[in-house]
A and B are shown apart, each in its own frame.
Chain A
Amino acid sequence: MSTSEQQASAPRLALPELLIGIGLLICAGAVAWQTLAIPVSPLYSKVGPTVFPYITMAGMIVLSLLLILAAIRGGWQPQEEKETPTDWKAMGFVAAGLVANLLLIQPLGFTAASVIMFVLVCFGFGSRHPPRDALLGLVLALAAYFGFAKALGVNIGAGLIENQLNALLGAAFSGKGG
């Protein structure tokens, strides 16, 4: 290749991009495995349910090889993006909030789980007033539950808080009615 020193900061293998390329190749493998698992009736042998999956798989393999090639040639990330350090702590708190929501939404119900997620995510983004955030989260979660979910007819998991409020509202309305 070129011997000039300008271009000597020559293509360095970009690890994150390489991993993405390999990851996509693995996904293509998963597509292949699942495509082979599709039972094909001989009636549909011409254009059966596997033709498109195979085309997709072939496309993914070609694309992942092109991505790996680009990674070997130094990757495609803009310099500015590379130099910005990732705020792992903030991301960690957001991820913790999401996981807490997932684990708690069934035992505690939507509102309580949402409040915990809200506080954790706010903390991750740098807010340092957990009690205030909890109150805000409660108001927002209730607004989401009653406004959004009820208006759209979406049934979201009711927990202790929702049941108490529903009972309260029910009592209030039947009181008025009677």
Chain B
Amino acid sequence: MDTLGHLAHGFAVAFTPTNLLWCLVGTTLGTAIGVLPGLGPALTIALLLPITYQVVPEASFILFAGIYYGAMYGGSTTSILLNTPGESATIVTALEGNRMARSGRGGAALATSAIGSFVAGTLGTMGVAFLAPTVVKYAIKFGPAEYFSLMVLAFITVSAVLGSSSVRGLTSLFAGFVIGMIGVDLQTGQPRFTFGTAELLDGVDVIIVAVGLFAVGETLYMASRRYAGKDEIVPLKGSLYMTAAEWARSWKPWLRGAAIGFPIGALPAGGAEIPTFLSYAVEKKLSKHKEEFGTVGAIEGVAGPEAANNASAAGVLVPMLTLGLPTSATAAIMLSAFQSYGINPGPLLLTTQANLVWGLIASLFIANIILVVLNLPLIGLWVRLLKIPAPQLYAGILVFATVGTYGISQSPIDLVILYLLGAAGFLMRRFDFPTAPVIIGMILGPLAETQFRRAMTIANGDWTVFYRHPLSLTLLALAFLGLVGPHIWAWIQQRRRRGPEHVPGDA
């Protein structure tokens, strides 16, 4: 098959000593930041964006992809041993994994999560390799109107469908739009939202936004919540080798998790929360050891969601590489790395940048192998990393935040913007506004605007173009359904629940 030929070529790219080294650096760094609470792949990749001025695209994307995958592995270690999810996608792992660790089976929990991540990550990466060329075949027929409608759908799913409130999610998204529009309008050269200052003409760098929201905002939030309970590390007990029974209980959840995670990740909806929760629910229902769920910890409840998490992380790369459509904060920042190289991710990427794309996919297979080695035999190293005390950890995060921000242009104005965004990030964290839609809105908003104006120009200013094209109409209808559907559903449920209460004499 064609894909296999491309993959073989990709492995030739990835197996050069330098690229293997980048992969090793990326996976190690990724595991470390995944383990450390308060640091995530989005923040780390944002801080490392200046590397795109130094090295060839292959090297930096292999590095970024290693960080991206590594953070997923590292995050589960923290969830299991600390009960503080290192990553939002590992919340579910903390449910059962931490209980397993408390009942002395931490070793098995870590093993099933690492091996499950490997199995699902490898399956997911294969999914990327085989699905991407197919998606491209369809995507190539997309006109600007379809693109715009697809982006609208992605906007709705990442902000309104996922998360706890569609109003707050959309608020974050619109804040991202405003940030994204700051600077010179690329089509007419008019300055927008600059408040008359020259500093804002170039726009606000995504590094500042990511660092402000994820590093400064998070640090302020943690400081404000210092008394709210202390985390204790559960000492690692139990052998890292799983018993035959544990293998038998793990392999099906791994495969099911991968089957749930990859498609959901690959949809232009993204997000790892939904597939992990879904996988958890499935495993709980199918398990023969239901009594272990929520008590001593069930291995299926770790194996399934961890696999789903990693498979969906791989799935997110499909819309990102084939359509240029990022559906997570990390993917959005990777997209801005493409932009910094002057590469436009889209249907043509696979042909015009074959070396880059297939080298990247091949390196993901290698990353998975490195990661399983890093995270099982070397687990003791990462456990030690968990012991870094919070004061020094957060102070250190702020030092790196300063390097990343001040390094852009040595302008104190950037630091002022950083702190303002940090304050906003604190309020968002405190009042439960999701932060990822801000990054996605800021990166994808201008792209959506470009497609919108292109479509309108082609159609001579005729608004109907967006619903005269059947595909575009379908996408917009799906977006509308995603926005309104859950509310109608909740309303029906509420009525149904309330119904019997009003029946007299019922209680």
Instruction: Please report the C-alpha to C-alpha distance between residue A47 and residue B462 in the assembled complex, in whole angstroms.
Output: 10
The reply on B256 being an interface residue by CB < 8 A is no
Instruction: Please report the C-alpha to C-alpha distance between residue A40 and residue B177 in the assembled complex, in whole angstroms.
Output: 20
Instruction: Please report the C-alpha to C-alpha distance between residue A110 and residue B174 in the assembled complex, in whole angstroms.
Output: 34
Instruction: Please report the C-alpha to C-alpha distance between residue A69 and residue B73 in the assembled complex, in whole angstroms.
Output: 42
Instruction: Please report the C-alpha to C-alpha distance between residue A123 and residue B412 in the assembled complex, in whole angstroms.
Output: 24
Instruction: Please report the C-alpha to C-alpha distance between residue A52 and residue B188 in the assembled complex, in whole angstroms.
Output: 13
- 0/1 interface trace, chain A 81-104, chain B, CB 8 Å (1 if under): 100111110110111011101100
| One of B188, B422, B431 near A48 (C-beta < 8 A) | B188
Instruction: Please report the C-alpha to C-alpha distance between residue A154 and residue B395 in the assembled complex, in whole angstroms.
Output: 21
Q: Which residues from chain A contact B391 at a C-beta distance below 8 Å?
A: 121-127, 133
When the two chains form their complex, are residues A153 and B402 in contact, meaning their CB atoms are under 8 A apart?
no
| One of B171, B431, B461 near A77 (C-beta < 8 A) | B431
The reply on B245 being an interface residue by CB < 8 A is no
Q: Which residues from chain A contact B381 at a C-beta distance below 8 Å?
A: none
Instruction: Please report the C-alpha to C-alpha distance between residue A44 and residue B399 in the assembled complex, in whole angstroms.
Output: 45
Instruction: Please report the C-alpha to C-alpha distance between residue A35 and residue B185 in the assembled complex, in whole angstroms.
Output: 12
When the two chains form their complex, are residues B410 and A155 in contact, meaning their CB atoms are under 8 A apart?
yes
- 0/1 interface trace, chain B 174-193, chain A, CB 8 Å (1 if under): 11011001000101101111
In the complex formed, the residue of A with least CB distance to B49 is A152
When the two chains form their complex, are residues B407 and A155 in contact, meaning their CB atoms are under 8 A apart?
yes
- Given A122-B391, A125-B226: A149 in contact with B403 (beta carbons within 8 A): yes
A131 to chain B, nearest CB (A): 14
Instruction: Please report the C-alpha to C-alpha distance between residue A59 and residue B175 in the assembled complex, in whole angstroms.
Output: 10
In the complex formed, the residue of B with least CB distance to A39 is B190
Which residues, 152 to 177 on A, are CB-close (under 8 Å) to B?
Answer: 152-157
Instruction: Please report the C-alpha to C-alpha distance between residue A86 and residue B430 in the assembled complex, in whole angstroms.
Output: 10
In the complex formed, the residue of A with least CB distance to B449 is A52
Q: Kindly count the residue-residue contacts between A and B in the assembled complex, taking CB atoms under 8 Å apart.
A: 200
| One of A17, A98, A154 near B431 (C-beta < 8 A) | A17
Instruction: Please report the C-alpha to C-alpha distance between residue A99 and residue B228 in the assembled complex, in whole angstroms.
Output: 26
- Given A105-B415, A117-B399: A52 in contact with B181 (beta carbons within 8 A): yes
Interface size class of B (residues with CB under 8 A): 35 or more
| One of A63, A90, A122 near B174 (C-beta < 8 A) | A63
| One of B194, B225, B396 near A84 (C-beta < 8 A) | B225
Q: Which residues from chain A contact B369 at a C-beta distance below 8 Å?
A: none
The reply on A12 being an interface residue by CB < 8 A is no
B21 to chain A, nearest CB (A): 13
| One of B220, B398, B419 near A91 (C-beta < 8 A) | B220
A96 to chain B, nearest CB (A): 11
- Among B50-58, B79-87, B93-101, B328-336, the one that faces the other chain is B50-58
The reply on B115 being an interface residue by CB < 8 A is no
How many residues in A have their beta carbons less than 8 Å from beta carbons of B? 77
When the two chains form their complex, are residues B171 and A24 in contact, meaning their CB atoms are under 8 A apart?
yes
Q: Which residues from chain A contact B228 at a C-beta distance below 8 Å?
A: 84
The reply on B456 being an interface residue by CB < 8 A is yes
When the two chains form their complex, are residues A153 and B403 in contact, meaning their CB atoms are under 8 A apart?
no
Instruction: Please report the C-alpha to C-alpha distance between residue A85 and residue B405 in the assembled complex, in whole angstroms.
Output: 31
When the two chains form their complex, are residues A91 and B223 in contact, meaning their CB atoms are under 8 A apart?
yes
When the two chains form their complex, are residues B419 and A102 in contact, meaning their CB atoms are under 8 A apart?
yes
The reply on B227 being an interface residue by CB < 8 A is yes
B309 to chain A, nearest CB (A): 24
B129 to chain A, nearest CB (A): 31
Q: Which residues from chain A contact B195 at a C-beta distance below 8 Å?
A: 34
When the two chains form their complex, are residues A110 and B167 in contact, meaning their CB atoms are under 8 A apart?
no
When the two chains form their complex, are residues A102 and B216 in contact, meaning their CB atoms are under 8 A apart?
no
When the two chains form their complex, are residues A27 and B178 in contact, meaning their CB atoms are under 8 A apart?
yes
Instruction: Please report the C-alpha to C-alpha distance between residue A97 and residue B401 in the assembled complex, in whole angstroms.
Output: 13
When the two chains form their complex, are residues B223 and A124 in contact, meaning their CB atoms are under 8 A apart?
yes
When the two chains form their complex, are residues B193 and A34 in contact, meaning their CB atoms are under 8 A apart?
yes
- Given A52-B449, A59-B174: A141 in contact with B399 (beta carbons within 8 A): yes
Q: Which residues from chain A contact B432 at a C-beta distance below 8 Å?
A: 76-78, 81
Q: Which residues from chain B contact A113 at a C-beta distance below 8 Å?
A: 402
When the two chains form their complex, are residues A38 and B190 in contact, meaning their CB atoms are under 8 A apart?
yes
Q: Which residues from chain A contact B408 at a C-beta distance below 8 Å?
A: 154
Q: Which residues from chain A contact B142 at a C-beta distance below 8 Å?
A: none
When the two chains form their complex, are residues B402 and A90 in contact, meaning their CB atoms are under 8 A apart?
no
| One of B50, B194, B219 near A153 (C-beta < 8 A) | B50
Q: Which residues from chain A contact B400 at a C-beta distance below 8 Å?
A: 144, 148
When the two chains form their complex, are residues A114 and B392 in contact, meaning their CB atoms are under 8 A apart?
no
Instruction: Please report the C-alpha to C-alpha distance between residue A44 and residue B407 in the assembled complex, in whole angstroms.
Output: 37
User: Which one of A24, A31, A121, A123 has the greatest number of beta carbons of chain B within 10 Å?
Assistant: A121
- Given A49-B187, A122-B391, A144-B399: A157 in contact with B410 (beta carbons within 8 A): yes
Tell me the B residues contacting A by CB distance below 8 Å: 48, 50-51, 53-54, 165, 167-168, 170-171, 174-175, 177-178, 181, 185, 187-188, 190-195, 216, 219-220, 222-228, 389-392, 394-396, 398-400, 402-404, 406-408, 410, 412, 415-416, 419, 422, 427, 430-432, 445, 449, 452-453, 456-457, 460-461
Which 8 interchain pairs have the tightest Cβ spacing?
Answer: A154-B407, A125-B391, A121-B395, A127-B391, A46-B461, A122-B391, A49-B185, A90-B223
Query: Can you list 21 pairs linking A and B with CB atoms under 8 Å apart?
Result: A31-B178, A44-B187, A51-B452, A52-B177, A56-B177, A56-B181, A59-B177, A60-B174, A66-B167, A76-B432, A86-B225, A87-B224, A88-B224, A95-B220, A101-B398, A102-B412, A102-B416, A122-B392, A127-B389, A140-B396, A144-B399
Other A-B pairs, 6, CB within 8 Å; known A44-B187, A56-B181, A94-B394: A76-B431, A97-B395, A113-B402, A122-B395, A125-B394, A144-B400
